[in-house]
Structures are given as C-alpha cells and as structure tokens.
Amino acid sequence: MAGTTQNPPAKVVAKAAAPRSPRKPRQTARTKTAVDTKAPASTPKLLAGGNPQIPKGEGDAPVQAYIAAMPGWKHEVGRRLDAIIERTVPGVHKAVKWNSPFYGIDGDGWFLSYHCYAHYVKVAFFRGAALRPVPPGASRSQDTRYLDIRQHDTLDEAQFAAWVKQASQLPGERM
C-alpha cells in the first residue's frame, strides 16, 4: 500500500465542493444600532408563588418597582400597605432585600417586610410578639409574627396602622 493515496470520504468532498455562503459580520457592541440599545426593559421575573424578583437596593425606587411588579390583586395590596406605612411613619427607610420590601428606621434596623406567595401576601413584623394585640400568624422565631392577606380579605387599616406605629417604636432587626 506504499505510495497509494486514500480518497477522502464522499461527505467531506461534497462539503468542500459546495459554494460557501457569505459570512454575516459578527455583531459587537459598536455595531449595534440605536434601536438595539434602547430596547424596553423586560418585566421582572416572578419567582415561586408569584413573588417579583427585584434587584436589591435602598430607597423608595426599588420598593415601588417591587410593588409595580406584584401580580394581579397583590399589586393593590402592596400599594395600600406602602401608603399606610408611609402615612404612619413619616420618613420611613425603605429597601428591597431578598426579593422583599423592607421598612425600618434609618440607623435602627427593620421593623416590617412583606412577600408574595401564591394565594396571599405575608407581612412580617420582626418584633411582632411585642405588639398589642399580637398579629395572628405564629413563626418559628419567638419574636416574629405574621399577617397573611388573601385576595378577598378586608384589611383592617386602623389595626394595621397601629401595629406599624408600635413596630416602628421598637428596636429594629439588623439584617
């Protein structure tokens, strides 16, 4: 077999003989058009139970982004909770951490947070065991108490505001 050459397989020959299509230029950041760079921001991803995935951040803007992304009837609940908290505790400090809005006193820690679940919005009072009356939802933590708000529940705004006021006057939770 010395001196003989092997013919390449037919597939390789056929592929090599086929005319090449012109290559598209690779698009880089410099070649993108203005339309590409001004694409509308996508809506936030909803995590398990419909909780919005919002980047962590301090201030009112991330909290408002969270509320805007709350699905369906939960959006109105979030809007009402935020309004009651702001009215009850002027100058309240806000942030989004772990995909949940947090409310506290600047320099003193957090007193309240809430989170969307499939069938309710869960409000956490971090020192809820000290509130009077104690919010109804028990916790594994001896200090924390919860208030679950379901779609057709009527929120007792006066009681909620009283809990918010009491909670804001207690030492905050450091997180």
Q: How does pLDDT run across 129-139, given as a tens digit for each residue?
A: 999 999 999 99
Show me where the domains of the chain are located.
Answer: 48-169
In the chain, which ranges are continuous DSSP H helix? Answer: 10-17, 34-37, 60-69, 73-88, 157-169
Range in 5-9, 90-94, 101-105 with the lowest mean pLDDT? 5-9
Q: Is the domain 48-169 a CATH 3.90.1150.200 member?
A: yes
Q: How does pLDDT run across 8-67, given as a tens digit for each residue?
A: 555 544 444 555 555 555 554 444 434 333 434 557 788 877 889 999 999 999 999 999
pLDDT at 159: 98
Whether the CB-CB separation of 129 and 142 falls below 8 Å is answered with yes
Percent pLDDT > 90 in the chain is 69
- Model confidence, pTM: 0.74
CA distance linking residue 41 with residue 89, whole number of Å: 32
Greater pLDDT, 126 or 15: 126
CA distance linking residue 156 with residue 151, whole number of Å: 14
C-alpha closest to that of 88 among 144, 146, 158: 158
pLDDT at 48: 75
